Amino acid sequence: MNAKNVPDGGVLYDGNEDDDDDALAPEAVAAAITTSIDWNEAVRHDTGLKGADLIAEFVKHLPNAPGVYRMFNEAGDVMYVGKAKSLKKRVSNYAQGRLHSNRLTRMVRETTHMEFVTTRTETEALLLEANLIKRLRPRFNVLLRDDKSFPYILISGDHRAPALMKHRGARARKGQYFGPFASASAVGRTINSLQRAFLLRTCTDSVFESRTRPCLLYQIKRCSGPCTHEVSDEGYAELVKEASDFLSGQSQNVKTVIARQMSEASEDMDFERAAIYRDRLAALSHVQSHQGINPAGVEEADIFAIHHEGGLTCIQVFFFRTGQNWGNRAYFPKADPQMAGAEVLNAFLAQFYDDKPVPKQILLSETVEEQELLALAFSEKAGHKVSILVPQRGEKRDLVDHVAANAREAHGRKLAETSSQARLLKGLAETFSLPYQPRRIEIYDNSHMMGTNAVGGMVVAGPEGFVKGQYRKFNIKSTDITPGDDFGMMREVMTRRFSRLIKEEGIPDRSISAPKPVEATSDDINDAAFPAWPDVILIDGGQGQMTAVRTILDELGIRDVVTAIGVAKGVDRDAGRERFFADGRSDFSLPPRDPVLYFVQRMRDEAHRFAIGSHRARRKKEMIKNPLDEIAGIGPGRKRKLLQHFGTAKAVSRAGLNDLMAVEGISEAVAKQVYNHFHESRSG
């Protein structure tokens, strides 16, 4: 097999020479797989092989080694990512037709290209597979959807007085991270209680450095006042250690120490100090008593339960840390309805922990096929032993049953919402005489204040409701538009949106790739990837707005590709009396209690909310913009020194040249630049 070298001795196989025994090191795996290897061109074009015949050719040259494979279609899209203990044996199953579902049969039939990478162990293959699935989102894999980042509690480690704060995103700052928490509100409640228990600061470093006397939090006994040395550095470090121990699972030890200190203070007749320890103990008890279920035998664990019914899968996860319930979240992964629940859960777990810390224990509602392999892979990733259990009795079983009950409830709610959304989309198609049931609807609205800080907003709706990750805002940039010209703003938004869409995606041929027909079920619609092109665009406006939109669609040649519908506010702007404008028919209204009318109103109101929010954010940014930001060569450092010296930007603007030069770090040239910026008439 012909091999391409990659970092750390790994190889990507291209199917022509003998096997290579080298394997890809873990740290090089993700980087290596991104390399584009077009080793299948000769097979694909010279012989015209595809599907099982093509795969059979690959099998002849594959090694009996663990690794990961990718399957591509004619368009070059990754359809499936899989891992194997033996690449040769696993891939040969596809070539021999050992398939168990229509999904896999269709996948093999569409395969025109494959790529492989070997790994040293099957656990490395498992971790790489999960990473690639999350990044590439192949059509035929089980996909973890709505994978929003979780909030954490951070005790910073890059300051003499570490701060206690909420953190979300990449864990780049030095310090200790505790979590995950299911929601920001759960973090906020915990931090509030921890403040009372450990008296750690929650202010930013800049505020900390500027304090000359303790803030209000010190006065109400929510902070120990390290900013003005109300507590010694050693004493504060001890508080930090106690907080870290408590969040690390040693809550009982911390409470025992504080209880002993309270008793000692009481024996010494120091009742004021004893009261402080008493209040801290009460705060710790508050943390643990307001977390819902707090099982005594579960110190650190994630608990998963799956409910699989009606073509929809729900996986509920509860987080327990330090014996406390840190919240729960429901997931609805995209999976073939024919797949068993255990199979979906198996694939879900690997993706879930791709970018999250793994707890010491994972409890499941049912046994998964690769349970031992997952435990081994997670242990290697986490650097500590991870056990995966399916409890059969006792407190842990009761806990899993509780999580399973939550999964069933969330599943029922989601199924009802999805069915309702499908009916509304079908009703929308029938009401506006669409040839198909739309899968992507884009709703547009503009917002401004007397023409200033104008913003266009676009929200997106689909079979599962609003798709917030697809929302876009457009800062109106054209200087030719008269302030307050809604028609001109809409023309700019439409031009920018669809010009870019044509450039990136091309114009779809509806006659070839037409959306699903009206009678399609929600499962059929959800089976396809969420489209980039809208089927329908809703414009918040009447005939004038629609004329501007249609003109742009005509100029771009997409009038027949996208259905545009205008929604004008009715008489006296009353909800329920809206007028609709669509091609080929006179404007009309819907009955006041029509479900489609409510559906359109909800989408329009969401677009209105988003546009107003974007406008307010832009206006606020303009209002607080510092005049010093406009001066070339004045970066954050010099701006900070000027403001610290003069107090305000207005005082800087009034300062004389000599006064500016007196500021540390401000040279004569920079001082002249600042002075001339505010005294243009006297410059030169």
**Cβ-Cβ contacts under 8 Å for 337 (sequence gap 6 or more):** 311, 312, 523
pLDDT value of residue 287: 60
Nearest-angstrom CA–CA distance, 393 and 390: 9
| Assigned domain for 159 exists | yes
- Say yes or no: 54 and 112 in one domain: yes
- Give the span between the Cα atoms of 9 and 26, in whole angstroms: 11
**Which residue has tokens 């969040």?**
247
Which of 142, 175, 179, 181 shows the shortest CA–CA distance to 161? 175
Residue-wise pLDDT for 155-193, tens only, equals 998 888 999 988 887 777 888 888 778 777 778 877 887
Is residue 309 domain-shared with residue 409, that is, in the same domain? yes
Q: How far is CA 417 from CA 148, 420, 522, 527, in A?
A: 20, 5, 11, 17
- Where in the sequence is the domain holding 678, given as residue range(s)? 627-682
Share of the chain above pLDDT 70, in %: 81
In whole angstroms, give the CA distance from residue 487 to residue 539: 11
Could you read off the pLDDT of 74-104 as tens digits, one per residue?
888 889 999 988 888 888 888 887 666 777 8
Residue type, 520: A
Which tens digits make up the pLDDT trace of 26-55? 444 444 433 333 333 333 334 567 888 888
Torsion angle, CA of 95/96/101/102, rounded to 10 degrees?
Answer: 60
Mean pLDDT of all residues belonging to the chain: 79
3-state secondary structure of 96: coil
The pLDDT assigned to 520 comes to 42
Both 404 and 469 in a single domain? no
Task: Copy the structure tokens of residue 154.
Answer: 């951070």
Same domain? For 91 and 232 the reply is: no
pLDDT attached to residue 294: 55
Is 178 in a helix, a strand, or coil?
strand
Are 315 and 345 in contact by the 8 Å Cβ rule? The answer is yes
| H-helix segments, 386-485 | 394-431
Treating both helix axes as pointing N-terminal to C-terminal, what angle do 271-289 and 184-198 enclose, rounded to 10 degrees? 160
Domain assignment present for residue 179? The answer is yes
Report which secondary-structure segment, H or E, holds 441: strand 441-449
Where does a domain end: 258, 289, 320? 289
Weakest mean pLDDT among 319-333, 353-367, 427-441, 552-566: 319-333
CB of 349 within 8 A of CB of 371?
A: no
CA–CA separation, 612 vs 448, rounded Å? 8
10 Å Cβ neighbour count for 126?
A: 25
Tokens at 316, concatenated: 């509920």
* Calpha distance 645→658 (Å, rounded): 13
571 and 577 Cβ atoms separated by less than 8 Å: yes
Structural domain includes residue 423: no
Task: Give the CATH number of the domain where residue 648 resides.
Answer: 1.10.150.20
Residue-wise burial string across 320-335, b where 16 or more C-beta atoms lie within 10 A, e elsewhere: bbbbbbbbbbbbbbbb
Statement to judge: residues 599 and 652 lie in one domain: no
- Nearest CA to 275 out of 266, 288, 284, 267 is that of 266
Cis peptide before 463 (omega within 30 of 0): no
Residue 235's SS3 state is helix
Of 79, 103, 136, the one marking the end of a domain is 136
Examine the pLDDT at 276 and tell me if it is beyond 70: yes
SS3 sequence, 604-620? Answer: HHHHHHHHHHHHHHHHH
CATH code, domain with 322: 3.30.420.10
Quick one: which of 60, 68, 54, 48 has its CA closest to 109? Answer: 54
**Residue 330, pLDDT above cutoff 80:** yes
Q: What is the pLDDT of residue 118?
A: 87
Q: What is the pLDDT of residues 91-145, one digit of tens each?
A: 888 888 766 677 788 888 888 888 888 888 888 888 888 888 888 888 888 888 7
The pLDDT of residue 531 is: 86
CA 69 to chain CA mean position, Å = 26
Q: Would you say residue 84 lies in a domain?
A: yes
Confidence band, pLDDT 50/70/90 cuts, at residue 612: confident
User: 537 pairs with which residues across the strands?
Assistant: 442, 564
Q: CATH no. for residue 544? A: 3.30.420.340
Q: Lowest mean pLDDT: which of 68-82, 175-189, 532-546, 611-625?
A: 611-625
Closest CA to 428 of 442, 436, 593: 436
Contact 458, 501 (CB under 8 A): no
Report the Cα–Cα distance between both ends of the chain, in Å, rounded: 73
Residues 210 and 310 in one domain: no
Give residues with Cβ within 8 angstroms of 245, minimum separation 6. Answer: 251, 253, 254
- Residue 633 resides in a domain: yes
H or E element in which residue 56 lies: helix 51-59
| Final residue before a domain boundary, out of 380, 413, 446 | 413
Tell me, yes or no, whether 40 and 116 share the same domain: yes
Number of independent structural domains in the chain: 5
Query: Is the predicted pLDDT of residue 491 greater than 50, yes or no?
Result: yes
Residue 357, preceding bond cis, omega within 30 degrees? Answer: no
Name the H helices within 202-358.
205-210, 216-219, 233-247, 251-267, 271-289, 341-352
| CATH code where residue 12 lies | 3.40.1440.10
Q: How far apart are the C-alpha atoms of 536 and 459, rounded to whole Å?
A: 12
Cβ atoms of 290 and 185 within 8 Å: the answer is no
- The single-letter DSSP state of residue 163 is P
Q: Report the candidate in 60, 290, 302 with the shortest Cα–Cα distance to residue 196.
A: 290
13, 118 in Cβ contact below 8 A?
yes
Q: Same domain for 71 and 214?
A: no
Assess whether 316 and 372 both reside in one domain: yes
**233 and 265 assigned to the same domain:** yes
Q: Are 581 and 568 in contact (CB under 8 A)?
A: yes
Residues 610 and 647 in one domain: no
Q: Quick one: 450 and 589 in the same domain?
A: yes
The residue whose two tokens read 């986490």 is 382
Please report whether residue 422 resides in a domain. no
**Residue 420 falls inside a structural domain:** no
User: Residue 142 corresponds to which tokens in the numbers above?
Assistant: 């089980």
Compute, in degrees rounded to 10, the torsion defined by CA atoms 296, 299, 301, 307.
10
Query: pLDDT tens digits, residue range 474-486?
Result: 888 776 776 667 7
Would you state the pLDDT for residue 381? 85
Sign of CA pseudo-dihedral 88, 93, 94, 95: positive
Average pLDDT estimate for 329-344: 84
Give pLDDT tens digits for 198-231.
Answer: 889 988 888 888 888 888 898 888 898 999 989 8
- Is residue 371 domain-resident? yes
